[in-house]
Amino acid sequence: MNQHDASGRSTKSILLFLGVMTLVFVVGVSLIIFSAGDGIDISGDKVALVRVEDIILDAEKVNGQLKKWSEDDSVKAIVLRINSPGGAVAPSQEIYQEVERAAAIKPVVASMGAVAASGGYYVAAPCKVIYANPGSVTGSIGVIMNLSNIEKLMEKIGMSPMVIKTGKFKDIGSPYRPMSEEDRKLLQSVANDILATFIEDVAKGRGMEPDYVRSLADGRIFTGSQAVDLKLVDKLGNLRDAIEAAARMAKMDPDPDVVEDEERRGLLKYLLDEDASLALSRVGLTSGFYFLWPNW
């Protein structure tokens, strides 16, 4: 073998070694970034933090996190941080059901922020323990539907709506005509039926008698301190207190590693998917029944 061939093979070996090391480095860094982005920590047992924030219009994100953390063996407990006045009925019910499933697997503790009212309280009910700050606003157990009538406005601008329908109730709640007494009775019966489910679920989640929950279900709000006296909340404390309690319930160190999913949403999607819906909900332009404290 001449000197030129030996030099060539040596160069190839060096390049191969550098290539392998580069690949190992890239894969390692990618795994670290991926793990950090998904809120995954490869070291030790953890408490997962799941946030329920603003008006509840969809359960997909929260339920996805609850399912993920309840199936993760390295996560020994979950803290549900709630800062919400409630929201649409069905998504609130879906989150309640997922919290209930998670709580059957591992400790789930609720921590109330500024407000956890109506649907915000509803989703906390299945948690093993509920913490609130003394000034947290909670309660507001009830159902609301906001409707508007713009008939006179339409007359002023010279517009006359025309409706074709297949039954007398098909346009119930229409903003273009007055609400009839029959309409009101029908909508009230639906609201009452939804409220009955609210009361039953809170009673089940809290281990209370339905009649006692019903006595509080007139839509009134409570401070965290009042809610403790009424047994709607278990203890006063902040988020750290809730995390430490969850760790103790899971027989962990009281100062555990805490993980949570990072928000991955573009600005345009955020503005279109959430802010628009929140704005419409807050001014009462969206139809439907809500577990919602409307003063948020």
Please say whether the beta carbons of 78 and 70 come within 8 A: yes
Q: Catalytic site residue 13? A: no
Given the residues 118, 140, 174, 281, select the one marked as catalytic: 118
Annotate 255-269 with DSSP letters as a single string. S-EEE-PPP---HHH
Please say whether the beta carbons of 135 and 117 come within 8 A: no
CA dihedral angle for residue 74, residue 71, residue 125, residue 94, rounded to 10 degrees: 150
Collapsing DSSP states into helix, strand and coil, what is residue 48?
Answer: strand
Q: Catalytic site residue 170? A: yes
Which of 89, 150, 146, 145 is CA-nearest to residue 122?
A: 89
Distance CA 56, CA 170 (A): 27
Distance CA 5, CA 244 (A): 66
Given the residues 170, 189, 215, 287, select the one marked as catalytic: 170
What share of residues in the chain are helix, strand, coil (percent, to 5)? 45, 15, 35
Q: CA 257, 54, 207: angle at the middle one, nearest 5?
A: 70
Strands (E), 27-173: 46-53, 75-84, 86-88, 108-117, 129-132, 137-139
Residue with tokens 């969850």: 246
Q: Any residues with CB less than 8 A from the CB of 151 and at least 6 apart, and which? A: 175, 176, 177, 178
Please say whether the beta carbons of 140 and 112 come within 8 A: no
Residues assigned a catalytic role: 118, 170
